[in-house]
């Protein structure tokens, strides 16, 4: 599908971000700039007054065609802490023709003078589609599209890794579980590659690992004992039962026995390895409670880092739109 190839529609003429749709195809300096900007926002989040005036007077629309609690609320908080006005729209998935419905919705929202859309959609490519058809000067942020990409989640994970473990070059990272349905995994792999990680692994049953995954420059394992050896960062993924159309798993108990992150299995990774999970976690399905709540877990730090990361991306994209607007005079 041509809509979801890596594209430069997310950059303006000066190479600055104007939409944020995917981590694929973005340069290392740009990804580093996003991380540095998010780091700067962290310091503002420790103050009594947590808002900065950057997006004062702007209107951000949270356009969620698919349910989400964490992502939507952190985007909402991020927008508010940038002093933007935010409108939350939860739109149930419509059975009618997607293209038409989407465009009708957009035209209506554009008529309300919105400056930015944060889009979550069950269809891969939805945010790209919107970015291509939107009025000039309106920024689009992808908050997760189908199996394709979830770039702000990937970047908040990169921020967490960099803050906890330092530079990416020497880190071995394993992504464990349902790679097949995971937009998070895909966005993480592109970001990790670009940021310099050379040893990226995916671990899971064959049925949940895409056939062509190694073409992305990662190594695939079907065995936790082998895959976790020497790993510095373990990223667990949620089993996405709602996206599974066929019997891809024998049973949850069997999956947990083989691929669940228990205290024993975590001991196979490097001492001091961090444990991550994009949430929501299924305790006892992909991760043991003792691990999720244990000293190596940074799962709640990921949630905290979600706010400064989303502030960074929103501020940069809005800034990139402003530049364009200026050039158009």
| Residue 51 engages other proteins in binding (rule: CB under 8 A) | yes
Select from 47, 97, 328, 329 the one that contacts other proteins (CB under 8 A).
47
Q: What's CA 21's distance to the chain center, in Å?
A: 10
Among the listed ranges 213-221, 251-259, 270-278, 321-329, the one in contact with other proteins (CB under 8 A) is 321-329
Among the listed ranges 37-45, 144-152, 209-217, 244-252, the one in contact with other proteins (CB under 8 A) is 37-45
Long-range contact set of residues 86-91: C-beta below 8 Å, sequence gap at least 24:
86/59, 86/60, 86/61, 86/62, 87/59, 87/60, 87/61, 87/62, 87/112, 87/114, 88/62, 88/64, 89/61, 89/62, 89/63, 89/64, 90/64, 91/63, 91/64, 91/65
Select from 53, 271, 295, 329 the one that contacts other proteins (CB under 8 A).
53
CB of 289 to other proteins, least distance (A): 35
| Residue 36 engages other proteins in binding (rule: CB under 8 A) | yes
CB of 316 to other proteins, least distance (A): 5
Count Cβ atoms within 10 A of the Cβ of residue 110 and give its class: 0-12 exposed, 13-18 middle, 19 or more buried. middle
Residue with structure tokens 């971000």? 17
Select from 2, 48, 96, 97 the one that contacts other proteins (CB under 8 A).
48
Q: What is the DSSP letter of 2?
A: G
Q: Which two tokens stand for residue 88?
A: 């939350």
| Residue 54 engages other proteins in binding (rule: CB under 8 A) | yes
| Residue 136 engages other proteins in binding (rule: CB under 8 A) | no
CB of 54 to other proteins, least distance (A): 5
Select from 1, 2, 8, 49 the one that contacts other proteins (CB under 8 A).
49
Sheet containing 233-236: order of strands? 219-221, 199-203, 172-176, 233-236, 274-276
Helix (H, G, I), strand (E, B) or coil at 201: strand
Distances (CA, A) of 221 to 163, 202, 246, 279: 27, 6, 22, 23
| Residue 42 engages other proteins in binding (rule: CB under 8 A) | yes
**Choice between 16 and 162, CB closer to other proteins:** 16
| Residue 11 engages other proteins in binding (rule: CB under 8 A) | no
**Choice between 43 and 251, CB closer to other proteins:** 43
- Chain residues that interact with other proteins, rule: CB under 8 A: 16, 33, 36-37, 39-44, 47-49, 51-54, 315-316, 318-320, 322-323, 325-326
């Amino acid at each position: 599908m041509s809509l979801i190839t890596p594209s430069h529609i997310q950059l303006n003429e000066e190479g600055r971000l104007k939409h944020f749709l995917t981590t694929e195809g973005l340069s290392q300096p740009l990804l580093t700039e996003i991380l540095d900007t998010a780091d700067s926002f962290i310091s503002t989040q420790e103050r009594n007054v947590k808002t900065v005036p950057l997006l004062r007077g702007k209107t951000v629309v949270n356009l969620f065609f698919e349910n989400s609690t964490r992502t939507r609320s952190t985007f909402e908080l991020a927008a508010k802490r940038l002093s933007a006005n935010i409108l939350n729209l939860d739109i149930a998935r419509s059975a009618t023709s997607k293209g038409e419905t989407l465009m009708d919705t957009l035209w209506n929202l554009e008529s309300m003078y919105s400056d930015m859309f944060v889009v979550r959609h069950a269809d891969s490519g939805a945010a790209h589609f919107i970015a291509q058809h939107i009025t000039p000067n309106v920024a689009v942020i992808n908050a997760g599209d189908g199996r394709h990409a979830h770039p702000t989640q990937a970047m908040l994970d990169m921020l967490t890794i960099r803050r906890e473990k330092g530079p990416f070059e020497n880190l071995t990272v394993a992504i464990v579980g349902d790679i097949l349905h995971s937009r998070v995994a895909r966005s993480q792999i592109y970001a990790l590659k670009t940021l310099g990680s050379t040893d990226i692994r995916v671990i899971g049953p064959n049925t949940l690992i895409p056939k062509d995954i190694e073409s992305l420059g990662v190594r695939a394992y079907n065995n936790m004992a082998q895959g976790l050896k020497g790993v510095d960062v373990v990223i667990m993924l949620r089993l996405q039962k709602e996206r599974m159309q066929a019997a891809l798993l024998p049973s949850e108990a069997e999956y947990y026995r083989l691929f669940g992150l228990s205290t024993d299995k975590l001991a196979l990774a490097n001492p001091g390895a961090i444990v991550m999970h994009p949430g929501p976690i299924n305790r006892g399905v992909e991760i043991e409670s003792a691990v999720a709540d244990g000293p190596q877990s940074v799962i709640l730090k990921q949630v905290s880092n979600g706010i400064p990361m989303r502030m960074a991306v929103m501020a940069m994209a809005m800034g990139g739109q402003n530049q364009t607007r200026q050039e158009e005079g």
